């Protein structure tokens, strides 16, 4: 085999709040929609970030950007792809907007911080037509009543993985 996985500079596994099916759903969506930027708002230890970061090794057109409030929670080996700060600050919103605008293909933006309704309301307006927004913990931390910003968008999510996503028209 040509690939020596032992040479990857980060070893599995870091904790992620996602299930295996949900990780698989993101990879399916990335392939299906030709996603070139994955933005994760709320990184925590970095388990999902590590998968996305590793993908860049084999897909140079693909980029990952994480946003996390607390520097000490994320595995420091992921520092290069994580932006530290409050996802609701003007600075972080501007940096994310700029990364989205620079992305050559669709962006998939995941709302997974501590206030998902506010996050959806903040970030749905800044992604572009053809970009996708996903929310984690639907039915627990974010509910139907909070979906105003995406209600008219096409649903492209993964019900079997409990992972809703919407594509911006
Ligand atoms: C549920 S965890 C994220 C789980 C992670 N996506 C995963 O797959 O394992 C939520 C994270 O959001 C972070 N967070 C909370 N409020 C935030 C804010 N205003 N801006 C950025 N990150 C925030 C928390 O520190 C926490 O690490």
Query: Residue 71 falls within a domain, yes or no?
Result: yes
Q: Residues 13-31: what's their mean pLDDT?
A: 94
113: Cβ below 6 Å to ligand 1? Answer: yes
69: Cβ below 6 Å to ligand 1? Answer: yes
In this predicted structure, the answer to whether residue 7 has a pLDDT above a threshold of 70 is no
Query: Residue 2 falls within a domain, yes or no?
Result: no
In this predicted model, what pLDDT tens digit does every residue of 31-71 receive, in sequence order?
Answer: 999 999 999 999 999 999 999 998 988 899 999 999 999 99
Into how many domains does the chain fold?
A: 1
Query: Residue 73 falls within a domain, yes or no?
Result: yes
**9 vs 13 pLDDT, higher one:** 13
Pocket test for ligand 1, best of 113, 122, 138 (most atoms within 8 A of CB): 113
The token pair at 155 is 């649903």
Given this model, what pLDDT does residue 10 score? 64
d(CA 28, CA 23): 9
Among 3-17, 112-126, 136-150, where is mean pLDDT lowest? 3-17
In this predicted model, what pLDDT tens digit does every residue of 133-162 receive, in sequence order?
Answer: 999 999 999 999 999 999 999 999 999 999
Among 3-12, 51-60, 95-104, 110-119, where is mean pLDDT lowest? 3-12
In this predicted structure, the answer to whether residue 25 has a pLDDT above a threshold of 70 is yes
In this predicted model, what pLDDT tens digit does every residue of 64-92 receive, in sequence order?
Answer: 999 999 999 999 989 999 999 999 999 99
Rounded to the nearest angstrom, the distance between the alpha carbon of 33 and the centre of ligand 1 is 25
* Domain span holding position 128: 16-167
Please list, in sequence order, all residues whose beta carbon lies within 8 angstroms of the beta carbon of residue 87, skipping any fewer than 6 positions away. Answer: 41, 42, 67, 69, 93, 113, 119, 122
Pocket test for ligand 1, best of 16, 17, 44, 95 (most atoms within 8 A of CB): 44
Given this model, what pLDDT does residue 1 score? 43
Q: What residue owns the CA closest to ligand 1's atom 5? A: 43
User: Taking the mean position of all CA atoms in its chain, how far away is CA 146?
Assistant: 19
Given this model, what pLDDT does residue 6 score? 55
DSSP label of 35: -
Rounded to the nearest angstrom, the distance between the alpha carbon of 40 and the centre of ligand 1 is 9
Given this model, what pLDDT does residue 9 score? 61
Identify the CATH number of the domain in which residue 132 sits: 3.40.50.150
d(CA 100, CA 39): 9
Q: Residues 2-16: what's their mean pLDDT?
A: 66
Give the other-Cβ count within 10 Å of 50's Cβ: 24
């Amino acid at each position: 085999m040509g690939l020596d996985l032992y040479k990857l500079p980060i070893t599995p596994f870091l904790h992620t709040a996602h299930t295996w099916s949900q990780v698989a759903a993101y990879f399916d969506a990335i392939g299906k929609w030709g996603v070139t930027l994955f933005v994760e708002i709320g990184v925590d230890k970095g388990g999902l970030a590590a998968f996305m970061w590793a993908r860049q090794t084999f897909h140079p057109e693909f980029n990952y950007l994480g946003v996390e409030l607390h520097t000490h929670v994320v595995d420091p080996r992921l520092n290069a792809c994580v932006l530290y700060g409050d996802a609701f600050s003007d600075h972080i919103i501007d940096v994310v907007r700029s990364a989205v605008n620079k992305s050559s293909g669709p962006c998939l933006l995941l709302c997974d911080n501590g206030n998902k309704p506010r996050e959806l309301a903040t970030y749905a307006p800044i992604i572009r037509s053809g970009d996708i927004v996903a929310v984690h913990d639907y039915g627990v931390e974010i509910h139907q009543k909070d979906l105003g910003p995406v209600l008219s968008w096409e649903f492209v999510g993964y019900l079997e993985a409990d992972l809703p996503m919407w594509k911006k028209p």
